[in-house]
Amino acid sequence: MALFDICYEKTILNEGGYKLHKVPFDRGGLTYAGISQKYHPDWRGWEYVTSEHNQTHLMPLVKEFYQNKFWNVIKGDYIDSQEMADTIYDFAVNAGCRTAIKLSQIVVGCTPDGIVGPNTLNALNSFHPEIFLSNYALAKVQRYMEICKRDTTQSKFLLGWLNRSIGALS
C-alpha cells in the first residue's frame, strides 16, 4: 500500500517548494507550491499567499490540496507499489488526473477512461512495477514531445519534464 506522505515530499520538490512564482509561457500562470491560480482560483490558500503568516497557514493547506485533488483521485492508498503510486501521482499533479490515469491504464492494458476503478486497480497491482515505470516514463516523454510539437513556447519546459519523467525510474 502506497503512502501519500512519501509521494507528497517528492512532488513538492518537483513543484519548486513553497514559493510564489510566475514563469513566462507557463500555462498555469501565477503559482504557489505548484498550485496554479488560473486553474485553482478557489483554493483556500490564496488568501494567505501574501500575508505575513503565510507559511503557518499555507503548508497544511497545500498538503490537503494535493491529497484531495490528486492522491485521492488516483486512489493512491489502494496502489500496492509505492513507486507506481509516486509516478502516477506526480504526473497527475503535472498533467492532470485524467491524463495520468489514462496513460497508466494504457500501460497496464485497461480501457483508458481516466477513472480509477476496481479493474484499473487490479491491473495496476498485478503489473510488474519496474516494467510499469519504464513504460509509463516513455509514455510521459512521448506526451511531452507532442505538447512541444504543438506549441513551441512549451519547449523551454521540456528538459524539466524529461528529468521529472526519467527521475521516476531511479
Written as nine digits, the cell of 30 is: 501565477
Contact call for residues 88 and 100 (beta carbons, < 8 A): yes
CA distance 134 to 107: 10
Rounded average pLDDT over 90-112 = 95
Q: What is the CB neighbour count within 10 angstroms for residue 86? A: 21
Rounded average pLDDT over 50-67 = 82
Look at residue 80 in the predicted model and tell me its pLDDT.
98
* Residue with the larger pLDDT of the pair 147 and 103: 103
Is pLDDT above 90 for 161?
Answer: no
**Domains defined along the chain, listed by start:** 4-167 (1.20.141.10)
Written as nine digits, the cell of 42 is: 478557489
Q: pLDDT band at residue 135, thresholds of 50, 70 and 90?
A: very high
Rounded average pLDDT over 14-18 = 86
- 18-56 residue pLDDT tens: 888 777 677 778 889 989 999 999 999 988 886 666 667
- 71-86 residue pLDDT tens: 999 999 999 999 999 9
CA distance 96 to 143: 13
Written as nine digits, the cell of 9 is: 515530499
* Residue with the larger pLDDT of the pair 168 and 9: 9
108's CB contacts (< 8 A; 6+ apart) are: 120, 123, 124, 126, 127, 132
Look at residue 170 in the predicted model and tell me its pLDDT.
59
Average pLDDT, the chain: 89
CA distance 170 to 163: 11
* Residue with the larger pLDDT of the pair 108 and 26: 108
Is pLDDT above 80 for 156?
Answer: no
CA distance 83 to 37: 29
* Residue with the larger pLDDT of the pair 81 and 157: 81
Look at residue 73 in the predicted model and tell me its pLDDT.
98
* Percentage above 90 pLDDT, the chain: 55
Ranges assigned E (strand) in the chain: 20-21, 31-32, 35-36
